Amino acid sequence: MGRPRTTSDEAILGATARAIGRHGPQGLTLAAVAQEAGLSPATLVQRFGSKRGLLLAFAAHATGTAAEPFRQARQQHAAPLAALRAALVHLAEGVSTPEELAGSLGFLQLDLTDPEFRAHAAEHARRTREEITALLAEAVAAGELHADTQVQPLAGAVQVAYNGALILWALTGEGPLPDAMRAALAQTLRPYLTG
């Protein structure tokens, strides 16, 4: 019988996220993740097989938990648009410097060039769009948005605004990222607001 695991896969994937923020996926090593997680590189090899295996597990976990920030925001905010703002700002909270965003964009290179990573990225984007769409539909039902609002196209615009705000903020460095995210969302939603 093997020894019980003292560090969960989720904790290791959290350590992986922090290490990616510092090194990017290309510069990431199992040693860097192991140090961040307080484990040996051999333990990571036993669990994930390789750096690629660890990164694929990280991508799969991100996809599997894509709805979580939206679920939490719904619990904290009764109004759908407040929940939407909170969820999108929360998604951006892990990035505090342009260099950290560069690590995430390095992952985008994997997503665009490797079919296994692309499948996870596409599913993550789809699930995020579904959550945005659902909150916008709830906002229409609650009277926060005009009754004739086409929520599918607006959800696409919100998702584009979110991703665009990340890139523009990284390039300009103007103000805190949460403020930039709130401003981009406000501008996108303004024509559809009832109040």
User: Do 134 and 59 belong to one domain?
Assistant: no
Sign of the torsion formed by the C-alpha atoms of 111, 91, 165 and 157: positive
Same domain? 70 vs 60: no
From 43, 64, 85, give the residue that closes a domain: 64
Residue-level pLDDT at 3: 47
pLDDT for res 2: 46
Is 43 in the same domain as 123? Answer: no
- 8 Å CB contact between 185 and 162: yes
Give the pLDDT confidence score for residue 5 in this predicted structure.
57
Whole-prediction pTM:
0.88
- For residue 158, give Cα distances in angstroms to 17, 152, 161: 25, 10, 5
Shared-domain flag, residues 94 and 9: no
Amino acid 170: pLDDT? 85
Torsion angles phi and psi, residue 20, rounded to 5: -65, -40
- CB of 62 closer than 8 Å to CB of 124: yes
In this structure, the answer to whether residues 143 and 177 fall within a common structural domain is yes
Where in the sequence is the domain holding 183, given as residue range(s)?
66-195
For residues 54 and 72, state if they share a domain.
no
49 and 79 share one domain: no
Residues of the chain with pLDDT under 70: 1-6
Q: Could you give the count of Cα atoms lying within 13 Å of 90 in the half-sphere of its Cβ?
A: 17
**Beta carbons of 108 and 125 less than 8 angstroms apart:** no
**The last residue of a domain, from among 64, 85, 108:** 64
Q: Read off the DSSP letter of residue 77.
A: -
| 193, β-bridge pairs | 145
Is residue 180 within a helix (H) or strand (E), and if so which, with residue range?
Answer: helix 177-189
Name the 3-class secondary structure at 50.
coil
Contact yes or no for 26/108 (Cβ under 8 A): no
CATH code for position 28: 1.10.10.60
pLDDT for residue 1: 43
Last residue of a domain, one of 31, 64, 97: 64
Tokens of 91: 């998604």
Concatenating the DSSP letter of every residue in 125-178 gives HHHHHHHHHHHHHHHHHTTSB-TT--HHHHHHHHHHHHHHHHHHHHHH--S-HH
Assign residue 78 the CATH number of its domain: 1.10.357.10
Check: CB of residue 84 under 8 Å from CB of residue 132: yes
Indicate whether 85 and 171 sit together in one domain: yes
Are 5 and 32 found together in one domain? yes
Residues across the chain: 195
Q: Residue 131: what pLDDT?
A: 98
